[in-house]
Amino acid sequence: MSNARVDRDTVRAQEITAEQQYLSMLYAKLDALRQETTQRLKETLRASGGTPQARTERDISTRMYTDKLTQLSAVEHGMCFGRLDLDSGETFHVGRLGLFDEDHEYEPLLVDWRAPAARPFYLATAAARDGVGRRRHLRTSWRKVLDYEDEVLDLDAAEQGSDLGLAGEATLLARLDARRTGQMQDIVATIQGEQDRIIRAGMNGVLVVQGGPGTGKTAVALHRAAYLLYTFREQLSKRGVLVVGPNPTFLRYIGQVLPSLGETGVLLSTAGGLYPGITATGEESARTAEIKGRASMVDVLAAAVRDRQQVPADYTELTFDHEALRIDRRTATQARTRARRSRRPHNLARRIFRNEMFSALTLQVADRLGRDLLDRRDLDDINRELRADAVVSKALDELWPEITPQELLDDLLCSPERLATATRKHLDDDERDELLRLPGTTWTPADVPLLDELAELLGADDAQERAEREHQQREELAYAQGVLHIMEQDEELADEERLRVSDVLDAELLAERFRSTSDLTAAERAAEDRTWTFGHVIVDEAQELSPMAWRVLMRRCPSRSMTLVGDVAQTGALAGANSWHDVLHPYVQDRWKLVELTINYRTPAEIMAIAADVLSEMDTDLVVPRSVRTSGHRPWTRRLPSDGLATELPAMIIDELHEVGDGRLAVLMPPELLAGIGPRLAESLPDAAIGTRPDDLESPCVLLTVDQAKGLEFDSVLVVDPATIVAESERGLNDLYVALTRATQRLGVVHPDELPAVLRGM
Q: Are residues 591 and 686 in the same domain?
A: no
Q: Which residue numbers belong to the known binding site for ATP?
A: 211-218
Q: Are residues 569 and 610 in the same domain?
A: no
Q: Are residues 271 and 172 in the same domain?
A: no
Q: Are residues 327 and 402 in the same domain?
A: yes
DSSP letters along 178-198, please?
Answer: SPP-SS----TTT--HHHHHH
Q: Are residues 306 and 345 in the same domain?
A: yes
Residue 148: is its pLDDT beyond 70? yes
Give the lowest-confidence range in 167-171, 187-191, 373-377: 167-171
Q: Please tell me whether residue 281 adopts helix, strand or coil conformation.
A: coil
Residue 565: is its pLDDT beyond 80? yes
212-229 average pLDDT score: 91
Spatial separation of the C-alpha atoms in residues 437 and 232, rounded to whole Å? 47
Q: How far apart are the first and last CA of the chain?
A: 46
Per the domain annotation, does 482 fall within a domain? no
Q: Is 684 exposed, middle or buried (0-12, 13-18, 19+ CB in 10 A)?
A: middle
Per the domain annotation, does 390 fall within a domain? yes
Any idea what the CATH number is for the domain that residue 197 is in?
Answer: 3.40.50.300
| Domain end marker among 434, 463, 482 | 434
Domain that holds residue 86: 1-177
Give the lowest-confidence range in 251-255, 275-279, 433-437, 488-492: 488-492
Identify which has the larger pLDDT, 477 or 64: 64
| Domain end marker among 407, 434, 461 | 434
Spatial separation of the C-alpha atoms in residues 319 and 664, rounded to whole Å? 73
Which of 243, 261, 267 minimizes the C-alpha distance to 523?
267
Neighbour tally for 512: CB within 10 Å:
17
The whole-angstrom distance between residue 758's C-alpha and the CA centroid of its chain comes to 34
Which of 389, 409, 408 minimizes the C-alpha distance to 400?
408
Per the domain annotation, does 303 fall within a domain? yes
Q: Are residues 164 and 28 in the same domain?
A: yes
320-342 average pLDDT score: 95
Per the domain annotation, does 513 fall within a domain? no
CA distances from 665 to 659, 696, 705, 715, 742 (A): 10, 12, 13, 6, 10
| Domain end marker among 543, 575, 597 | 597
Residue 164: is its pLDDT beyond 80? no
Identify which has the larger pLDDT, 533 or 503: 533
464-468 average pLDDT score: 61
Per the domain annotation, does 150 fall within a domain? yes
Torsion of CA 708, 712, 717, 718, to 10 degrees: 10
Is the Cβ–Cβ distance between 688 and 682 less than 8 Å? yes
Residue 62: is its pLDDT beyond 50? yes
Per the domain annotation, does 269 fall within a domain? yes
Q: Are residues 269 and 373 in the same domain?
A: no
Give me the half-sphere count of Cα atoms (radius 13 Å) on the Cβ side of residue 687.
18
Residue 235: is its pLDDT beyond 80? yes
**What percent of the chain clears pLDDT 70, i.e. is strictly above it?**
86
Per the domain annotation, does 144 fall within a domain? yes
Average pLDDT, the chain: 87
Spatial separation of the C-alpha atoms in residues 240 and 236, rounded to whole Å? 5
Q: Are residues 589 and 612 in the same domain?
A: no
DSSP letters along 431-481, please?
Answer: HHHHH---TTPPP-TTHHHHHHHHHHHH----HHHHHHHHHHHHHHHHHHH
Q: Are residues 269 and 304 in the same domain?
A: no
Spatial separation of the C-alpha atoms in residues 234 and 504, rounded to whole Å? 11
Query: What pLDDT, on a 0 to 100 scale, did the predictor assign at position 191?
Result: 83
Query: What pLDDT, on a 0 to 100 scale, did the predictor assign at position 176?
Result: 61
> What pLDDT digit, counting tens, does each position of 586-613 carry?
999 999 999 999 999 889 999 999 999 9
Q: Are residues 583 and 618 in the same domain?
A: no
Q: What are phi and psi of 626, to 5 degrees?
A: -80, 125
Query: What pLDDT, on a 0 to 100 scale, did the predictor assign at position 510?
Result: 59
> What pLDDT digit, counting tens, does each position of 99-127 carry?
998 877 778 999 999 999 999 988 888 77
Q: Are residues 736 and 611 in the same domain?
A: yes
Per the domain annotation, does 449 fall within a domain? no
Q: Which residue numbers belong to the known binding site?
A: 211-218
Is the Cβ–Cβ distance between 601 and 172 less than 8 Å? yes
Q: Are residues 114 and 224 in the same domain?
A: no
Residue 501: is its pLDDT beyond 50? no
Residue 618: is its pLDDT beyond 80? yes
Domain count, the chain: 4
Query: What pLDDT, on a 0 to 100 scale, did the predictor assign at position 491?
Result: 52
- Work out the pLDDT band at 462, boundaries 50, 70, 90: low
The whole-angstrom distance between residue 434's C-alpha and the CA centroid of its chain comes to 29
Q: What are phi and psi of 328, to 5 degrees?
A: -95, 160
Query: What pLDDT, on a 0 to 100 scale, did the predictor assign at position 493?
Result: 46
